[in-house]
Amino acid sequence: MAVARFRTRSVTGTVTKAAVGGCETGGFMRVRVDQDRCQGHNRCYGLAPKLFDVDDLGYATALNDGAVPADLEERARLAVVNCPEHAIEIWEDE
Ligand code: SF4
């Protein structure tokens, strides 16, 4: 299983299609939130409420053991590039 970390951002912080579209493998995808980095911005939950939950203080965790259904892979990538703390990691099978 390969580890892929998405930290690509445009200069303005706006998500670009290139940043979101990288690493299309069609394989199994999983997300994980680094609890040491998460600062509770809630952006991941706002972008992908089927993939992330947040506690009362806004700190995020991945739902369903981090498993990402194929139809939510783009949402997972959006969450990664929009996390200001780079706290979300994606694993994908090659
Ligand atoms: S966007 Fe990043 S820092 Fe904010 S709650 Fe989600 S994982 Fe945590």
pLDDT recorded at residue 93: 79
Residue nearest to atom 4 of ligand 1 (CA): 41
Give the pLDDT of the chain (94 residues) as one tens digit per residue. 444 444 333 222 333 333 334 444 456 999 999 999 999 999 999 999 999 999 999 999 999 999 999 999 999 999 999 999 999 999 987 6
Please report, for the domain that includes residue 25, its CATH number. 3.30.70.20
Distance CA 15, CA 20 (A): 7
Supply the pLDDT for residue 43: 95
Report which of 14, 40, 31 is spatially closest to residue 76, judged by C-alpha positions. 31
Name the residue range of residue 81's domain.
Answer: 3-93
Total domains in the chain come to 1
- Longest pairwise C-alpha distance within the chain: 36
**pLDDT tens profile 45-65:** 999 999 999 999 999 999 999
* CB contact at 8 A, 40 and 58: yes
List all residues whose CB is within 6 A of at least one atom of ligand 1. Answer: 33, 38-44, 58, 60, 83, 85, 87-88
DSSP, residue by residue, 24-49: ---S-EEEEE-TTT-----HHHHH-T
CA of 46 to the centre of ligand 1 (A): 10
For residue 90, the model assigns a pLDDT of: 96
* Predicted model pTM: 0.74
User: Considering Cα of 16, then 22, then 24, then 29, what sign does the dihedral take?
Assistant: negative
